[in-house]
Structure formats: C-alpha cells, structure tokens
Amino acid sequence: MWHTTLSNTFLDILFPPQCVVCKKKLENNAHYKSICNQCLGLIDIHYGFFCPRCARRLPTPRLVCHQELHYVLGAVGSYHSTPLRELIHALKYNSVKIASEPLTYLLDLYLKNVFSESLRPLLDQAFLIPMPLHKKKERKRGYNQATLIAQKLLSIPEWSTLSLKPLLVKIKHTSSQTECKNYKERARNVAGSFIITHQEEIKGKTIIILDDVFTSGATMHEAALTLRNAGAKNIIALVLAKA
C-alpha cells in the first residue's frame, strides 16, 4: 500500500497528471485524474434510448419503428463531443485506464436519466455483458475497456444488482472495421464472430451489452443477433458514445 502511494506521488511529480482533452495540468480539485472539471462539464448526456437503425429517440427501451431489430440502443453521449471522444480514445488506445473513472461517472448519470423508477424492474436480474474482444486483441491491449467500465459500474450500489456475465466470446479475429468501405462489407466482416458459452443461461433474460462506441452498428447487430438466437428476451446495447 505504502509502496503504491509513494510511487504514485513520485510519478505525479515527474509527470504531473494532465487533462486528456485540453492537456492542461490538472488542478488539485479535479474530480478525476484524467480530465479537468471544465472539459468534463462540456459533455452533454442523453435523456433517452435510440433506434439503432434510424436513430429515432425512444423514451423507453422499446422499439416503435424498426421492430425487426433485436435491440435498442442506449448511448451516454455523442461521439461528436470532443471531450467524450478523447476520454474513450485515451482509455482504448493510450492505455489511460484511469479514464474509465469519469466514463463510469457519465454512464451512471445517463442510466439515472433513462431508467426511471418505473423502468428499474427491467434491470432486476439483467445480465451485463461487456462486448468481448478477440483474445489476441485483448492480449495486445492488456485489458478489455468495456469490462473495466462494467466492473466499475457494478461497484455503484444503484447498479450492483446487475450480473456481470461474460457469456459472449469473440471467436473471429476481424480486420479493423474502419478498413471496411460500406455497411454490407462490415456486416460480412463480423458475421459469425460470436459464440455464447452458456446458452441455457441467456434464455428469457434481459441482456445489456456494454461497448465503448456505436458507429456503423455492424458488430453490435451481430452480437445482438447471436443473443436473440440464444433466446434473450430484451436486449439493450449500451454505449458510451454513438456516432
């Protein structure tokens, strides 16, 4: 314990923590070690769910438009928000694991916005599944960013009734989605990517798949389809930012 505290203090002196967005040295009153209070305050948090196809706003996690889809989308904020995007980027690509703290804080605020008292029962016994990475990718990064956020979320008493269940496994090492030109190509790229380890556990359940961003949706569609085929009743894709 002493060692960690000492070495952390030492590191803070050598490399004073700075905001991942504006790069300013963090003041002592900063709530988090990765972003300054000003940049954090610039992030707008959504108040509803969305249709994953047409982006229509939905007050409850129920599709009223594209009902052939297997899930609804919940997104904390917009990917066009620079501070939110930079936080996610820092966590995902620059190994700034500590960025998971303000991101979990924002996720908590969003969930409080959308899960009013009347909707809370939906979350009783719901499964929280972090979007899996292929094992090669996870080994390279050293962690799964969605798992980090999921673990932190469950430490908040309000959401501790969710069960963290990594039942989805990515078996296909897909090339980067950004290299695919169009949606069809992306969908083909991810087809058959996932398997479920304990099919019998999924049946009749409400599942929340947690991921960092939702862009084309091809990966999420595939994951949701896999879960629906296994008998999941309600599926909510929960992401930190949507395009």
Minimum distance, C-beta of residue 227 to Zn ion, in the bound complex (Å) = 19
Does 56 engage in binding with Zn ion (CB under 5 A)? yes
How deeply is 91 buried, as exposed, middle or buried, from its count of CB atoms within 10 A (0-12, 13-18, 19+)?
buried
Provide the mask over 33-52, with x wherever binding to Zn ion is found by CB under 5 A and - wherever it is not: ---x--x-----------x-
Minimum distance, C-beta of residue 36 to Zn ion, in the bound complex (Å) = 3
Q: Which is nearer to Zn ion, 51 or 168 (CB)?
A: 51
Does 73 engage in binding with Zn ion (CB under 5 A)? no
Minimum distance, C-beta of residue 38 to Zn ion, in the bound complex (Å) = 6
Site for Zn ion in 92-131 (CB under 5 A): none
Contact residue for Zn ion among 19, 26, 76, 90 (CB under 5 A): 19
Minimum distance, C-beta of residue 72 to Zn ion, in the bound complex (Å) = 10
* Long-range Cβ pairs for the range 41-46 (8 Å, 24+): 42/81, 42/82, 42/83, 43/77, 43/81, 43/83, 43/84, 43/106, 44/77, 44/78, 44/81, 45/76, 45/77, 45/106, 45/109, 45/110, 45/113, 46/75, 46/76, 46/77, 46/78, 46/110, 46/113, 46/114
**Rule CB under 5 A: which residues touch Zn ion?**
19, 21-22, 36, 39, 51, 53-54, 56, 65-66
